[in-house]
Amino acid sequence: MSFVCDPAIAVKIRRMKERVQWQHPLIVQQGIDQTRLVLSDDQPDNPNFSFLVLGDSGAGPHKNHHPQRQIAEMMLEHISTCHFLLHTGDVVYQVGSREFYQENFIKPYQELIEGGETTPYDQMVFKFPFLPVLGNHDYYDLPLLSRLLIQLTKPLGHFLGFQQILTLGTQGSDVGDVYSRAFLDYLKLKQGKDLHHHLESYYTAQTDTGKSLLYQPGKFTRLPNRYYTFSYGGIDFFALDSNTFNTPSPLPATQEGEAFRRSLEKRRLELEREEIQLRDRFSKLRDDLPDEAEQLDDIEGKLEQIEEIKLDINKQLQARGKTVIDSEQLEWLRDRLIESWHNDKVRGRIIYFHHPPYVTEATKWNQAQTLAVRQNIRWVLDQVSQALGSLPQGLPLVNLVFNGHAHCLEYLRTGNTGYADSHLNWIVCGGSGFSLRRQRLEGAELIDEQGNIAAVSQLFVGLNGHTTKKRRPYSFLRVDVQAGCPPKFIIHPFVAERFRHQWQEYQLEPFMISH
């Protein structure tokens, strides 16, 4: 059985719109753009600036160490010289539940939050701009059967090998509601005069697309929507919710399609058997012994990995008829990218979202969701390229794409894919706190259906080594943006590595990305 469930895309879209009162008459009347924010940090608009990137961080403390807190402490050294932080999703594991926000988010990042570690999750105000997107775990829920099983096994959880299940808690995300209350401007709670006053107070930034929400560190730090855009130092940033355009296409009604269906069902059964074996091993280990405690961490990560693969298989098996995708968001991205290219003040573009279209991490590179996101991002970029014609004059449509989901740090560059996502720079920053993963055995080159090299991994930092030589390098990024058009980006990878129960902090060689 699957202990977690991923709500349907149509449900995610509808519920998220309700929470921000999408296109409410008062909002339309005041000419407000609900997909745009303006970052007010009392600093001059400088083409030379820096920002931080984190992802897949939302785990709690381990028995004798806390990877997420280790990374947070390293990151704090850069706060004074950086302007904001991008988070690529999975803010809180395992199911985005409110009962884990205090331990898995607020405490690790307490220095960034007014009031520190005692702040309620739905009343956070950030001292330092924290700009996340939704990950799949921020949307996950618990089916009724899972909740009942957790409640029944809680007293004997460790002895039955169900400790990993207990980390799910007894609540889910309520289709991303907890994330929404934590980070979005939850307008659903305001009606009539209260809504009018709120809009007049906080949607005061005048932009070329209408009034926009003013993000004020230390005062009001809400996001306008689950996907949004902002500009800084001449760079346009586009934050997406990839959880609503990652549905696999239905399997073809052919002999090949039926054979693939049977192979998926067989693979799911194998995973369920492996799951039982891992839980049996888990029940025999002691968390008060350092070596065994790390084995418990690895098993917990492996169980989470199996759960995600099973969910991906289920998405493929359940796909029927016309695939439901978030066309509204994809068309919004297309139109905003085109507008960005027609704005002389913009000198570069960055997109960030959770699911990576290109990645060589062993569990994600061939998932159906990975391929679905790649297909949809290609559609957007192809549309933009067609609309712009020769306007880019050899420059990339997008300078950088940041993703999470894969628990590693990776830099890839696409080759000639035959689409408008050719020759782009893709950076996966998903190794900032949760269980790390290895690179696939097939290596650094991703081959497409025609046998061509679609992308090549230039850097991979993830789980490596075995037994006593196993290394766990957790990571985050600092990005320095330089003046000029087109701009140059200097990427600084920072690593906190766990090896033989000790931490070692270091910086990898920076690398530059230009056109």
pLDDT digits (tens, 9 = 90+) for 162-173: 555 556 677 899
As a three-state string, the secondary structure of 248-295 is CCCCCCCHHHHHHHHHHHHHHHHHHHHHHHHHHHHHCCCCCCHHHHHH
Dihedral sign from CA coordinates of 86, 92, 93, 96? negative
pLDDT score recorded for residue 441: 95
Instruction: Give yes or no for a cis peptide into 94 (omega within 30° of 0).
Output: yes
The upper half-sphere exposure of residue 25, i.e. CA atoms within 13 Å in the direction of its Cβ, equals 2
Separation in Å, CA 167 to CA 38, 199, 416: 37, 39, 43
pLDDT score recorded for residue 79: 96
The pair of structure tokens assigned to 281 is 């091993």
pLDDT score recorded for residue 428: 98
Tell me if 479 sits within 8 A of 490, measured CB to CB: yes
For the CA atoms of 144, 150, 151, 153, the dihedral, rounded to the nearest 10 degrees, stands at: 140
Separation in Å, CA 277 to CA 273, 274, 280, 447: 6, 5, 5, 34
Question: Which among 30, 399, 433, 407 is positioned nearest to 212, based on CA atoms?
Answer: 30
125-172: pLDDT as tens digits = 999 999 999 999 999 998 876 666 666 665 555 444 455 555 667 789
| Spatial distance between the Cα atoms of 12 and 238, rounded to a whole number of angstroms | 20
Beta bridge mates, 141: 5
| Spatial distance between the Cα atoms of 339 and 348, rounded to a whole number of angstroms | 13
| Spatial distance between the Cα atoms of 25 and 34, rounded to a whole number of angstroms | 13
pLDDT score recorded for residue 298: 86
DSSP state of 104: I
For the CA atoms of 355, 356, 359, 365, the dihedral, rounded to the nearest 10 degrees, stands at: 40
Tell me if 187 sits within 8 A of 195, measured CB to CB: yes
Tell me if 428 sits within 8 A of 471, measured CB to CB: no
pLDDT score recorded for residue 159: 46
The pair of structure tokens assigned to 186 is 């939850």
The pair of structure tokens assigned to 256 is 């090949």
The pair of structure tokens assigned to 397 is 């449509």
| Spatial distance between the Cα atoms of 431 and 298, rounded to a whole number of angstroms | 14
| Spatial distance between the Cα atoms of 21 and 203, rounded to a whole number of angstroms | 14
pLDDT score recorded for residue 51: 98
| Spatial distance between the Cα atoms of 227 and 187, rounded to a whole number of angstroms | 16
pLDDT score recorded for residue 368: 94
Task: State the 10-residue block means of pLDDT for the chain, 515 residues long.
Answer: 85 98 97 97 84 96 90 97 98 94 97 96 98 97 74 54 59 95 97 95 96 97 98 97 95 91 95 92 86 85 90 90 90 98 96 98 94 97 96 94 98 96 97 96 91 94 92 98 95 97 96 91
Q: What share of the chain is helix, strand, coil (3-state, %, to 5)?
A: 35, 20, 40
pLDDT score recorded for residue 363: 92
Instruction: Give yes or no for a cis peptide into 248 (omega within 30° of 0).
Output: no
Question: Which among 86, 89, 98, 83 is positioned nearest to 42, based on CA atoms?
Answer: 83
Dihedral sign from CA coordinates of 387, 391, 396, 397? negative
Domains along the chain with CATH numbers: 9-249+318-513 (3.60.21.10)
CB proximity list for 175: less than 8 A, separation 6 or greater? 7, 11, 12, 15, 139, 141
The residue whose two tokens read 């905003």 is 336
Query: Degrees (nearest 5) of the Cα angle 484, 489, 493?
Result: 160
CB atoms within 10 A of CB 4: 23
| Spatial distance between the Cα atoms of 128 and 475, rounded to a whole number of angstroms | 20
393-449: pLDDT as tens digits = 889 999 999 999 999 999 999 999 999 999 999 999 999 999 999 999 999 999 988
Separation in Å, CA 323 to CA 8, 107, 261, 307, 331: 11, 40, 17, 23, 16
The upper half-sphere exposure of residue 422, i.e. CA atoms within 13 Å in the direction of its Cβ, equals 12
pLDDT score recorded for residue 161: 47
